[in-house]
Structure 1
Amino acid sequence: MTKEGAQQTAPGTIPDRVLMSIGFLSFFDRFATPPMLVVLAARTGLTLAEAVGLVAAYSLLYALGQPVWGFISDRFGRVAVLRTALVGLALAAVASTLFSAHARLLVARSAAGLMAGCLYPTLLTVIGDTRSGVAKARGLSELQVYSALGTTAATLAAGSIAAFTDWRVVFGLPALGCLALLVLLRRAHDGGTHRRGPVDFRAAFSGAALGVYGVAVLEGAVLMGVLTYFVPALQHADVPIALAGVLAAGYGVGVIAGARLMRRLVQRLSRTRLMGLGGTVLLAGYAASSVAQNPVTITATAVLVGASNAILHSSLQGWATEVAPAARATAVALFACALFLGSSVGTFLTAPLADAGQYGAIFLLGLGATAVLIAVVTAGHAAWERRRAR
């Protein structure tokens, strides 16, 4: 049996199917709200800007909770925080179904973001703990596929479920997933994934680590902040909500295709070149919808943004797991914090443009910010690799 196989089958380890299922759930919950923003606003009496604010608040609490989750994970273990977050997310999901007033729903979705924020970074940390080299890159790529499936399921189904049944159903579904995953985690223990020992938290605040977090803020605004608007932009172009969900699900198709391609590219290209390639794909995506906003261009943008996520973002994730190995969970959590902080800020800043129907301006801003991101990430990672090689 290979070392990797031993890690996956040893008693107490988290099985791959459970890791991937948690990734699916995390991204389903994260991306279920944007496709039903118009329906949610109409049926609750919220403005579209207020409905977008629910997504932004979710992302903000998702981000702000990361340092706390990372500290707890490094100190007490990975499985402990996964269980805690799954219980918390289940409660927040139920609470989200009980309120329609803006303030109370905002609190419930913020709590959901806080709890969901623990899940994906902890999965990255587990993979960083147990794999290295190409095996790590492939593990991250596989996690991207299941995360994309969660995103695709949310994009395809959430809008239609909300339109033809009730928006509360969409918010309530993750609670059932949490309960199932808690059952599957009942025999897992921290020793299976977490290498205990002294934790040097200062490593998570080195110059290199802070640079990675800065890049993550920009990527979050560019990649995830704009992602919120695919379905609303399609609806603004008079596409029915069910069809808009299908077209926007091109994002998930792009992630899956990009992840499969990434499994081959990782053996041929350096990580710096992969970042440059992923950034170029993202640039092409936003260029399409900057010129015109119609079903063809927005669908093309969704597919290309998804492919970029699989190539650029997974490369950044790999960098985050290596920049501070002595405090890996804390560093990965701070990376995720920065990523979703950037996403939240990007969404907050562009919400007035969405409310005015100016989606072309949003995609144009994404185009300009992507050009900056490509320059910063490729130069920064190349410099880090040179210093590490000395």
Structure 2
Amino acid sequence: MKTQQELEPSIGSVPDSALRFVGFLSFFDRYGTAPMLVALSLGTSLSFAQAVQLIASYALFYAIGQPIWGVLSDRFGRLAILRAALTGAGLSAIASILFTGFIPLLIARSLTGLLFGALYPTLMTLLGDTRTGVERARGLSDLQIYSSLGTTLATLASGAVATYVDWRLVFALPAFGCAAALFSLRKVAEPAHSRARFNFRAAVRPMNLALYAIVFLEGGLLMGPLTYIVPALQESGVEIGLAGALGCAFALGVILGARLMRKLVARFSRTWLIGGGGLLLSVAFLPSALFPSPASYTVTAFFLGAANAIMHSSMQGWATDISPDARATTVSLFVFALFAGASVATYLTADLAQHAQYGQIFGIGLVLSFALVLLATGTHALWRRKNPPASL
């Protein structure tokens, strides 16, 4: 009789369930702090501004670590980095519950961001190593579903847990999750061909640089405006708890879009999926740009999620294909560009948000989304003509 592990689909020799759980875990930790900012400042010696700085530092080190993890993954192997990052992330999460002072917590959360930042790109790289075509696209969609579930649970639950139980529990849960993930990977061997000969030049070819520039703009449009959904809902008169729940329309959009994506990848090329997802991004901005209201902001959140599931997962597939001889480094630079774009967009629109000009922010997103569709589809079509065997 076959064991459960033998019956379960897997990525190479790595069970899919383990990788989905790691995807869930990485996004739960990443989005778990923001909803409990007030409880964290009340339960420690931190001011609210200092609590916010914990998130900013986490995000900074999460982004900074991307190229580092990519290089190390190409040099030492995917599972070696995954295990090392899970071990370090678990220890850093434990350190986060031992301190209440600002500097020790800042160091602990910065290290946690650095280490958790290795997880998702490594999962993407494993998919790139061991799957091709439709199966790779479906694997990426599955990862998006589970990461969105992690985001949703963190958004809905971490504030309540911190308020009614203890803020330390929000940091402790990912530590337990890291231990569980390590246990599930204890007998897993490194997949074949997951350790590449290091070739940094392959990750910075002209077409790679074009991809990073496109995803920089995509990050600014997908993740930058998403920051303002809940504040815009509050500004329009929605109570904070309901605003948070309505903001979760983004995760619903990702989940439903990812389920749809599993069917679309068998019928349409990646170029068409990038274009279709980009048009969904334009649809997302349209109601909030023209008719700002709680309903339009909720619709925007939903379609931002759907665009993420269709356009961005297609961009992720492109990133795993474009340089097989430097896949981990390429994927990590891709993720770095995504977060850099989101950070720059948030910085550039901060003054508009300060004056509650959310309609103008979404209007700018609407205009730029058309430019993104043209750039992304045109560049991918050009790359596809030159590399037909490697594309969908």
Asked if TM exceeds 0.5, the reply is: yes
Aligned partner of 1:46: which letter?
F
* Greater Cα offset, 129-138 or 214-223: 214-223
Aligned residue in 1 for 2:312? 313
* Greater Cα offset, 227-236 or 313-322: 227-236
Aligned partner of 1:182: which letter?
L
Q: Distance in 1 between matches of 2:192 and 2:352?
A: 45
* Greater Cα offset, 346-355 or 81-90: 346-355
CA distance change for structure 1 residues 86 and 321 in 2, over 3 Å: closer, same or farther? same
CA distance change for structure 1 residues 185 and 154 in 2, over 3 Å: closer, same or farther? same
Aligned residue in 2 for 1:200? 199
Q: Distance in 2 between matches of 1:172 and 1:363?
A: 37
Gap runs ≥5 in structure 2: none
Asked if the contact 1:276–1:374 (Cα under 8 Å) also holds between the matched residues in 2, the reply is yes
Q: Distance in 1 between matches of 2:346 and 2:95?
A: 24
Aligned residue in 2 for 1:46? 48
Aligned residue in 2 for 1:173? 173
Q: Distance in 2 between matches of 1:156 and 1:348?
A: 26
Where 1:188 maps in the other structure, the secondary structure is: coil
Using the TM superposition, give the Cα deviation of residue 53 of structure 1 relative to its aligned residue in structure 2, in angstroms. Answer: 4.8
Which structure 2 residues correspond to residues 143-158 of structure 1 after superposition, within 5 A? 143-158=143-158
Q: Distance in 2 between matches of 1:249 and 1:281?
A: 18
Using the TM superposition, give the Cα deviation of residue 86 of structure 1 relative to its aligned residue in structure 2, in angstroms. Answer: 1.2
CA deviation map 1:280-308 (0-9, x unaligned): 11112122223354432222111111111
Using the TM superposition, give the Cα deviation of residue 137 of structure 1 relative to its aligned residue in structure 2, in angstroms. Answer: 1.0
CA distance change for structure 1 residues 338 and 27 in 2, over 3 Å: closer, same or farther? same
Which structure 2 residues correspond to residues 32-111 of structure 1 after superposition, within 5 A? 32-37=32-37, 44-47=46-49, 53-98=53-98, 104-111=104-111
Aligned partner of 2:138: which letter?
R
Aligned partner of 1:230: which letter?
I
Question: Identity of paired residues, percent?
Answer: 52
Q: After TM superposition, what 4+ stretches of structure 1 lie above 6 angstroms from structure 2?
A: none
Using the TM superposition, give the Cα deviation of residue 101 of structure 1 relative to its aligned residue in structure 2, in angstroms. Answer: 5.5
Q: Distance in 2 between matches of 1:17 and 1:235?
A: 37
CA distance change for structure 1 residues 63 and 367 in 2, over 3 Å: closer, same or farther? same
Q: Distance in 1 between matches of 2:375 and 2:211?
A: 10
Using the TM superposition, give the Cα deviation of residue 154 of structure 1 relative to its aligned residue in structure 2, in angstroms. Answer: 1.6
Aligned residue in 1 for 2:140? 140
Which structure 2 residues correspond to residues 276-315 of structure 1 after superposition, within 5 A? 276-315=275-314
Using the TM superposition, give the Cα deviation of residue 157 of structure 1 relative to its aligned residue in structure 2, in angstroms. Answer: 1.7
Q: Distance in 1 between matches of 2:71 and 2:40?
A: 36
Q: Distance in 2 between matches of 1:167 and 1:233?
A: 26
Aligned partner of 1:219: which letter?
E
Gap runs ≥5 in structure 1: none
Asked if the contact 1:52–1:351 (Cα under 8 Å) also holds between the matched residues in 2, the reply is no
CA deviation map 1:301-356 (0-9, x unaligned): 11111111100110000000011011111111111111112223333344454455
CA distance change for structure 1 residues 312 and 9 in 2, over 3 Å: closer, same or farther? closer
Q: Distance in 1 between matches of 2:194 and 2:65?
A: 23
Using the TM superposition, give the Cα deviation of residue 97 of structure 1 relative to its aligned residue in structure 2, in angstroms. Answer: 3.7
Asked if the contact 1:32–1:154 (Cα under 8 Å) also holds between the matched residues in 2, the reply is yes
* Greater Cα offset, 151-160 or 348-357: 348-357
Aligned residue in 1 for 2:335? 336
Q: Distance in 1 between matches of 2:351 and 2:165?
A: 29
Q: Distance in 1 between matches of 2:237 and 2:103?
A: 30
Using the TM superposition, give the Cα deviation of residue 80 of structure 1 relative to its aligned residue in structure 2, in angstroms. Answer: 1.1
Q: Distance in 2 between matches of 1:353 and 1:34?
A: 21
Q: Distance in 2 between matches of 1:8 and 1:77?
A: 22
Q: Distance in 2 between matches of 1:259 and 1:69?
A: 27
* Greater Cα offset, 159-168 or 367-376: 159-168
Q: Distance in 1 between matches of 2:379 and 2:155?
A: 34
Asked if the contact 1:93–1:175 (Cα under 8 Å) also holds between the matched residues in 2, the reply is yes
Aligned residue in 2 for 1:376? 375
Aligned partner of 1:160: which letter?
A
CA distance change for structure 1 residues 235 and 109 in 2, over 3 Å: closer, same or farther? farther
Asked if the contact 1:53–1:348 (Cα under 8 Å) also holds between the matched residues in 2, the reply is no
Asked if the contact 1:28–1:150 (Cα under 8 Å) also holds between the matched residues in 2, the reply is yes
CA deviation map 1:151-196 (0-9, x unaligned): 2212222333344444443333212211211111211232x25444
Where 2:384 maps in the other structure, the secondary structure is: helix
Q: Distance in 2 between matches of 1:41 and 1:381?
A: 46
Q: Distance in 2 between matches of 1:237 and 1:101?
A: 36
RMSD of aligned Cα (Å): 2.8
Where 1:186 maps in the other structure, the secondary structure is: coil
Aligned partner of 1:45: which letter?
S
TM-score (norm 2): 0.88
Aligned residue in 2 for 1:326? 325
Asked if the contact 1:214–1:338 (Cα under 8 Å) also holds between the matched residues in 2, the reply is yes
Q: Distance in 2 between matches of 1:343 and 1:127?
A: 25
